[in-house]
Structure 1
Amino acid sequence: MMFKHLSYFSVILSALRVANAAPAATLSTNPRGGSGLVGYSPTNTISNENTETISYQFAPGQTQDADIGAYLDFSAVANPQPIRGELGGTDPGPRNLNYAKINPDKLAPPGTDSGATINAQWPLGLSSVKLGKDHAGWSRQENIQVMPAATQMAGVDMRLEAGGYRELHWHVAAEWSIVLNGSCRIQGVNDDGQTFIDDVGKGDVWFFPPGIPHSIQALDDGVEFMLVFDDGHFSEDNTFLASEIFAHNPKEVLSKNLGVPVSAFQTLPSPNLFIFPGTPAPKDIEQQNVTGSAGTVPKAVSYSYHFSEQPAEELEGGSVKIVDPLSFPIAKDFSAALVTVKPGGLREIHWHPTSDEWTFFIQGQGRATLFTPPSDATTFDFMAGDVGYFPKSNSHYVENTGNEDLVFLEVLQADHFSDVSLAQWVGSTSKQIVQDTLKLSNETLSQLSTEKKTVVL
């Protein structure tokens, strides 16, 4: 029996040796390679893959001189290539063709682009969405974390479903906002104890100074709005929230402060409600119009401005309307223009002498070239939902490259909205000086205008 057991174990051991030895051949290759692969060797072999047989087509205008810089529509081009005029070459990949098609001026920039400016573009679709409670809404933001050069302003795109609240709160930064769609009720109390309440709809604007507590509730249609803050470092995560104040003060102190028993605070919610569902606002706004001995915020410094009711100035290539402290006094240093550019039109080459420009694209698609002295120039392609940023006195234009109206918002930190027009400057300067400088013909000089066009076609 003992020998039988030994024989049995011998068979098992033999099988284990075979099993362990079986993969040895497959494990013998060193995944790190070896010194024999370094440098020249007559035994080296190379791939014979031909990268010169790529199948592609040109977009209209792509073979023109690169300095003409026509917009290249790659939307229907199967395999767009980084070529413009005599510049560039083919790209066999790997790459993401979707980026190439929506950013043609990155793939095949105009020959007039040079060097590297700041990154003046951020698609909010790449911002992480912060989700509210119980399907009440969401928000997403742009600040220096994603646009390091955008130091003067930051933006938050926020959606509230019907009845949804942006919790009672305040900020260290000033808050300027425009309603993108839907409607909401806004409420606040200033440092004199004066109260404010109003309903605002698509196209209307509100402003709350730093430290002024306020709340926002969507009405029956729900609402989406764009918030702009006067600090590029702003983050919505650093907002002062009512639920956090109550959660982080002793209940005994709250009791003394509010003149109610400690038991009143047994049902406080978890802190940081942020966005949450609530009781629908009553139709009659007067039911929520609470007024103390200080009265209401005077109309002259009201926190809302019904921008939607202001007519736009109709121009050759579109329209423009402006809201700034001259018409909306409480919004100190916030000046904005809502610009519409028709297909093929152009928001003329200009710059803002006193402020950076924070831009939000609301509808359509367009492109802009940012010029930074002495010779840096970058062309960016923008779509609805993108943020643009153009530093003070850096020239730029916005061209409509789509088939529908392009609508965008220009926001400045300035006590009134202003810009300098390239065309007006050249047209208002002595023709001899311009001719000596730019070598333009007399015929060209005779066509220049002394008037600012703003939007041209």
Structure 2
Amino acid sequence: MKLQLIVTLLPIVLPLAHGAPARRDTPNPGLRGNGSLLGYSPDNEVGGDSRPDIKYTLVPGQKENPDTGSYLDFEKADNPQPIRGPTGSDDPGPSMSAFNPMCISIHADRTEIIAGNYYYDRINSDKLAPPGTDHGETINAQWPMGKSTRFRGQICNNTNVMPDATLMAGVDMRLAPAGYRELHWHVASEWSLVLNGSCRIQAVNENGETFIDDVTAGDVWFFPPGVPHSIQALDDGVEFLLVFDDGDFSEDNTFLATEVFLHTPREVLSKNFGVDVSAFDKIPDDELYIFKGTPAPEDIEKQNVTTAAGLIPRAKSYSYHFSEQPAHEVAGGSVKIVDPLTFPIASNFSAAVVTVHPGGMREIHWHPTSDEWTFFISGEGRATLFTAPNAATTFDYRGGDVGYFPKSNSHYIENTGDEALVFVEVLQAPEFTDMALGQWIASTPKQIVSDTLNLSDDMLNNLKTEKQYVVAGSSD
């Protein structure tokens, strides 16, 4: 358990910045003081502004034992304070305004100077007042997409902002009606979940087999490395999540059709296509990347170009109409899974879309063979990442955030809001699997569990030997 001592540094900083008013010898004192200010002197007046009167009300759960770790809803608090039970202290802050002061956080093994942000604290209560069960230091497992730079219609999440997310990177992209993501290909594999709207996707593989399909919110597509493809938004525009199997991936590393033409000698292009050099006089003088084009025809057959090789076989389809798959209902919400068992072309991408009702939680689990890259679609939640041997950090999430949980590191995701929490878990695995803490304990001989954890027979007799996936909240 860590003890937090909050000390405002404002009275220290301001005299250094503005001089010591009590020793002004002229109407406008110089830049520096004099030797009389050094060390102790009986003539020195000690003191200054009195500590401000801090007015606040503790939120429900804040007086509990810190190890209980109840969620503290600071969004509705007028002046949230870093207090849990007997630990922590009130925080004066500079004029109780937008920013918390610097403070000193004392841990068992280190002392830190921290600069806080008042508004950030309100939506990240588990950072301001961590549960007593948090300990040590894990990786940073939370990043809001909104803090990433918006660049050409996309927001990217990779190792630049989450250095430990080495297996996967993500992009949230929006196309206006008739907007294109221009013809391109990648070195990395591209897995996508459509978040809203609809679009037409098209591709050609190395055998010359062609593919075209319309996908809508909730559907998934996948393009293997090196397969050229394009995306065009339909009438209502489209927003989609892209996940790549390389944590260092950047959309800037995409191979674009415009760039290929711009950086190949026109004489070579002429010879390659069997046309006059003048045919390339009007090619764009820069990449298009994302641009608005001619709206796609309603009849998709008009764009169904085929070669002698024919169409890509259905079993190797680049799209999967995940939106039409019914969700598996459980006590606390629902789960539905798409992985290579049903979507074979996505050879190492496995995902689950999870819905958690208010008060419920994705049960405590871990993935034995893969890191988990999580995108929060809507709602509010929190998760505690546990890393062996004894490090644990609790993070708060909301729609648009990314979470990252390394292989075999246990975690849960709890709905802390008033509406459904929806997120997608993405693994680099040939099948979606997890280990559930509840199933493990329930499937272990009771004597072993009792000897280890001192749990009562009543509790052990009520454990469920099947996975719960999403646990319902209590009626309280």
Query: Within 2, Cα distance between the matches of 1:47 and 1:253?
Result: 81
Which residue identity lines up with residue 143 of structure 2 in the other structure? Answer: W
1:81-101 per-residue CA deviation (whole Å, 9 max, x = no partner) reads 000011101111242321111
Out of 299, 306, 311, the position equivalent to 2:321 is: 306
Q: Which aligned segments of 4 or more residues in structure 1 are displaced greater than 4 angstroms?
A: none
- For residues 146 and 414 of structure 2, the distance between their equivalents in structure 1, rounded to whole angstroms, comes to 22
Residue 442 of structure 2, aligned match among 418, 427, 445: 427
Deviations 1:343-388 (A, max 9, x none): 0001000000000000000010000000001110000000000000
**Counterpart among 216, 222, 228 of residue 213 in structure 1:** 228
Instruction: Work out whether 1:271 is the aligned partner of 2:282.
Output: no
Distance 1:128 1:269 in 2: 26
In the alignment, which of 410, 419, 437 is matched to residue 425 of structure 2?
410
Q: What residue in structure 2 maps to residue 78 of structure 1? A: 78
User: Once superposed, what is the RMSD of the aligned Cα atoms?
Assistant: 1.3
For 1:371-450, what aligned pairs fall within 5 Å after superposition?
A: 371-450=386-465
Aligned to 2:132: 111
2:142 is matched with: 121
Amino acid at match of 1:347: R
* Worse-superposed segment, 72-81 or 390-399: 72-81
Q: How does 1:353-364 map to 2 (within 5 A)?
A: 353-364=368-379
What is the deviation of 1:53? 2.6
Tell me which moved more, 270-279 or 379-388. 270-279
Q: 1:12-31 to 2 correspondence within 5 Å?
A: 29-31=29-31
Aligned to 2:155: 140
- Identity in percent: 67
**1:347/1:278 CA distance change after superposition, 3 Å:** same
Tell me whether 1:99 sits opposite 2:120 in the alignment: yes
Unaligned runs of 5+ in 2: 1-25, 95-99, 101-116
Separation in 2, partners of 1:312, 1:49: 61
In the alignment, the residues of structure 1 paired with residue 345 and residue 48 of structure 2 have an alpha-carbon distance, to the nearest angstrom, of 70
Are residue 226 (structure 1) and residue 238 (structure 2) matched?
Answer: no
Q: Deviations over 1:300-336 (max 9, x none)?
A: 0110000000011000000000000000000011000
Distance in 2 (alpha carbons) for counterparts of 1:190 and 1:394: 38
Secondary structure of the residue aligned to 1:75 is helix
Q: Which of 203, 209, 213 is 1:198 aligned to?
A: 213
Q: CA 1:46–1:236 in 2, change beyond 3 Å: closer, same or farther?
A: farther
CA distance in 2, matches of 1:141, 1:46: 52
TM-score by length of 2: 0.88
Measured in 2, the distance between the counterparts of 1:312 and 1:438 equals: 35
Please show how residues 56-75 of structure 1 align to structure 2 within 5 Å.
56-75=56-75
How many matched pairs?
427
If you compute each CA radius of gyration, which structure gives the higher value, 1 or 2? 1
Name which of 313, 338, 352 aligns with 1:323: 338
Please report the TM-score for the alignment, with normalisation by the length of structure 1.
Answer: 0.92
Counterpart residue identity of residue 62, structure 2: Q
Q: Which amino acid aligns with 2:150?
A: V
Q: Structure 1 402/257 Cα, relative in aligned 2: closer, same or farther at 3 Å?
A: same
**Which deviates more from structure 2 when the two are superposed, residues 417-426 or residues 40-49?**
40-49
How far has the Cα of 1:48 moved from its partner?
3.2
Q: For residue 55 of structure 1, what is the aligned residue in structure 2?
A: 55
Q: Which amino acid aligns with 1:145?
A: N
1:37 corresponds to which residue? 37
Distance 2:43 2:144 in 1: 50
Give the CA deviation at 1:139. 0.6
Further displaced range: 43-52 or 96-105: 43-52
What is the distance in 2 between the residues matched to 1:39 and 1:307?
A: 72
Distance 1:308 1:280 in 2: 24
Q: How far apart in 2 are the matches of 1:279 and 1:233?
A: 34
Structure 1 residues not aligned, in runs of 5+: 1-24, 132-137
1:362 aligned counterpart, secondary structure: strand
